[in-house]
């Protein structure tokens, strides 16, 4: 939605042209808003051009960035459970990411990462709710939680036979 906030004595009665990337998309009289559907994500150059009665007019220009709406999906290499102090490899399998996406991983123990595909070692065994938040700009954020289990290392080496029995 494009909003005309023009002020002045002729603002309500003047005619206005709206352009997106130098293409006329709307013509209006008065300062009403105009709805425009932009076809894809990316940068758009907007122009509001008043058709002046007295040739004393100004053009308002602004570039906006239309970001994709993200859907966070934290990925996990291997199914777990994971051993304490071993690397747990996370990866981003989210939808709607682009070159400007910012990542925030919360490992549920006070540790964080801003990498898209971090690796982390848990010092303590337990259940953790790992949260991935992806941010594509104002009003374009999403978060999702992935539960993982980290098992303790007891220091005993075990051997297993063909039937899976410890010896």
Q: pTM higher than 0.85 for the full model?
A: no
Q: Is the pLDDT of residue 167 over 60?
A: no
Average pLDDT over the chain reads: 84
Q: Say if CB 137 and CB 67 are below 8 A apart.
A: yes
Per-residue model confidence (pLDDT) at position 18 = 86
Alpha-carbon distance of 72 to 133, in angstroms, equals 6
Task: Encode 53-109 in three state secondary structure.
Answer: CCCCCCCEEEEEEECCCCECCEEECCCCCEECCCEEEEEECCECCCCCCEEEEECCC
In tens, the pLDDT along 147-163 reads 999 988 876 555 666 66
Give the lowest-confidence range in 46-55, 63-72, 115-124, 155-164.
155-164
């Amino acid at each position: 939605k494009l909003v005309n906030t023009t002020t002045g004595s002729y603002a309500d009665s003047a005619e206005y042209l709206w352009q997106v990337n130098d293409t006329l998309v709307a013509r209006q009289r008065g300062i009403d808003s105009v709805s425009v559907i932009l076809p894809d994500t990316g940068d758009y150059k907007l122009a509001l051009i008043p058709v002046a009665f007295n040739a004393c007019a100004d053009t308002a220009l602004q570039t906006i960035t239309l970001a994709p709406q993200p859907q966070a999906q934290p990925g996990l290499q291997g199914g777990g459970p994971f051993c304490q102090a071993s690397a747990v490899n996370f990866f981003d399998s989210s939808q709607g990411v682009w070159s400007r996406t910012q990542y925030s991983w919360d490992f549920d123990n006070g540790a964080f990462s801003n990498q898209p595909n971090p690796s982390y070692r848990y010092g303590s065994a337990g259940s953790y709710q790992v949260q991935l938040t992806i941010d594509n700009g104002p009003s374009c954020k999403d978060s999702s939680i992935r539960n993982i289990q980290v098992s303790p290392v007891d220091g005993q080496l075990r051997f297993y036979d063909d039937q899976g029995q410890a010896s």
